[in-house]
Amino acid sequence: MGLMKCPGPDALGTPLDAEPAYLSVLSYNLLAPAFVRPVDLRTGAVQPFAAFEWASTEDLEWDLRRKRLLKQLESWRADVICLQEVQFEASPDGSFLLPTWLQGLENYSACIPAEKYLTLIAERNERVLANRVAIGCAVLFRRDRLVQPDEEGLRGDPNTLVSACLQGCPESPLAALGKTAFFSVHLDAQSEEKRVEQLRKCLERARALGTRHVVFAGDLNTECRPGSCIAAFVSDEAPSDEDMVRECASALRIVGGEDGDDEVPVSSKETAGGDGEPSSEQLEQWRLLWQKAAQSRSEHRISLSRVPTGPTRSAYDHGKSEGPCVTWRLDHILHSSDTLQLHQLWTTLEADDAASASGLPNKENPSDHLPVAAVFQAISHHGRGFGV
């Protein structure tokens, strides 16, 4: 079943619990405080993408941002909240916990990364930023409306791919929602190949959890345009040659321009040629990667659609140290198209000219990304329900 033709988007921030029979999903990259203007030990300076030269010191102050973020999450009342760049708190025994301020959200339960992955990212941040902090994704869900059918097998997620297998509470307005795997994802900032492998791992994880019904929500670090390999997960249409060249060149130009999980010096990374065009070898590798992504849908028997959200990040362009700001469509919600029918979504930066021009965060928006949100109707398949 394809996407429902829904009315125009609601304004960002419209409460998501107005219609109890519908499932609401929110994704939000919070901008971890440790990632605001830190000195990178690899370069001895603040990386350009972390300098936020367009933002005021007040708008970057964590105490103020945290209060604004909590107020937003409390007022929106989403059924499922997929968060990225959560900065976890260390307990006295050294283990990591959901931060106290998020524990204050009433009636929500949380799924967080496995301890070993939080320890690894904390060690990496200590090496690179001289700050031993664990940062990663989390999935929060309303326990008055959703339940985990089986907690076994739900542990062990890496910090950038956190899952929660949920279904509607019996006798609740969401009772029609069968077993569905929700993922909060933060895909690699530099490598399309790594992004493809991360999404493939999510598909494998869903099948291991016993379902083909999924929601992937998060910062995908790609605009998901035709010709990108991530777009191949959601589109049956073959991209044009021009699309493939454009997206391959774009991905190669961005290499080294954002922070990644690896610690390889930028100078050692392969980039596009001096004319900005990928070589024939690079383009062939891109086509093979696109085909691998496209085949993932049939391989795992999972059909995905993308909620048509708009741009969510506004900043100086790649490689620029001054304005104007430009926008990118980096945050997305992908969902099973046969069991979740889109009912409504929020606007993004296309409806906020001021933020698009001035950059994020600002006084109204406490993160460098806008949130994205969607409301779905759960469709039960007669005769086979939500099985695998």
Q: What is the reported pLDDT for 254?
A: 65
pLDDT of 258 reads 53
Q: Report yes or no on 7 lying in a domain.
A: no
In this prediction, residue 380 carries a pLDDT of 75
Average pLDDT over residues 171-184: 97
Q: In this predicted structure, what is the pLDDT of residue 150? A: 77
Quote the percentage of the chain above a pLDDT of 90: 85
Instruction: Please give the full DSSP string across 307-360, using - where no structure is assigned.
Output: ------EEEEPTT-SS--EEEE--EEEEEETTTEEEEEEB--GGG-HHHHHH-S
- Tell me which of 272 and 12 has the higher pLDDT: 12
Looking at residue 5, its pLDDT comes to 45
Closest residue by Cα to residue 268 from 192, 375, 344, 190: 190
Overall pTM > 0.75: yes
Q: Is 15 part of any domain?
A: no
Say if CB 180 and CB 214 are below 8 A apart: yes
Q: Answer with the residue of higher pLDDT: 379 or 311.
A: 311
Tell whether the model's pLDDT for residue 383 goes beyond 90: no
In a domain, 28, yes or no: yes
pLDDT of residue 381: 55
270 inside domain: no
- For the chain, the domain total comes to 1
Q: Residue 337: inside a domain, yes or no?
A: yes
Residue 1, in any domain of the structure: no
Q: Would you state the pLDDT for residue 3?
A: 34
- Phi/psi-derived region of residue 143, left when phi > 0, alpha when psi is between -120 and 50, beta in every other case: alpha
Q: In the predicted model, is pLDDT for residue 6 greater than 70?
A: no
pLDDT tier for residue 236 given thresholds of 50, 70 and 90: confident
Place of tokens 């998020």: 102
Whether 140 contacts 109, CB under 8 Å:
yes
pLDDT band with cut points at 50, 70 and 90 for residue 388: very low
| pLDDT given for residue 259 in this prediction | 54
Is 145 a domain residue?
Answer: yes
SS3 133: coil
Which of 48-52, 60-64, 326-330 is predicted with the least confidence, judged by mean pLDDT? Answer: 48-52
Q: Is the pLDDT of residue 41 over 80?
A: yes
Closest CA to 361 of 95, 29, 88, 79: 29
Q: String of b and e for 195-221 (b: at least 16 CB within 10 Å)? A: bbebbbbbbebbbebebbbbbbbbbbb
Check pLDDT > 60 for residue 154: no
Phi, psi of 168 (to 5 degrees): -65, 140
Q: Measured between alpha carbons, how far is residue 30 from residues 188, 200, 230 in Å?
A: 16, 25, 23
Tens of pLDDT, residues 312-339: 999 999 889 899 999 999 999 999 999 9
Range of 156's domain? 23-236+295-378
Share of the chain above pLDDT 70, in %: 89
163 pLDDT band, cuts 50/70/90, is very high
What's the whole-number average pLDDT of the chain?
A: 91
- Contact predicate 213/181, CB 8 Å: yes
Q: What is the pLDDT of residue 156?
A: 87
Q: What would you measure as the largest C-alpha separation in the chain, in angstroms?
A: 62
- Report the C-alpha gap between 14 and 72 in whole angstroms: 10
Least trusted range by pLDDT, from 199-213, 246-260, 263-277 = 263-277
Q: Find the mean pLDDT for residues 46-71.
A: 97
- Give the Cα separation of 356 and 93 in Å (integer): 44
H helix intervals, 61-191: 62-76, 100-103, 115-129
Which H helix or E strand runs over 375?
A: strand 372-378
179 located within any domain: yes
Which residue has tokens 């007040």? 58
Q: Can you say how many angstroms the Cα of residue 30 is from the centroid of all Cα atoms in its chain? A: 11
Inter-residue contact 161 to 201 (CB < 8 Å): yes
Q: Give me the residue label for tokens 């708190």.
A: 89
Worst-scoring range by mean pLDDT, 74-78, 102-106, 153-157, 227-231?
A: 153-157
d(C-alpha 290, C-alpha 196), whole Å: 9
CATH code: domain of residue 87: 3.60.10.10
pLDDT band for position 255 (50/70/90)? low
CB atoms within 10 A of CB 325: 18
Cβ(37)–Cβ(46) under 8 Å?
A: yes
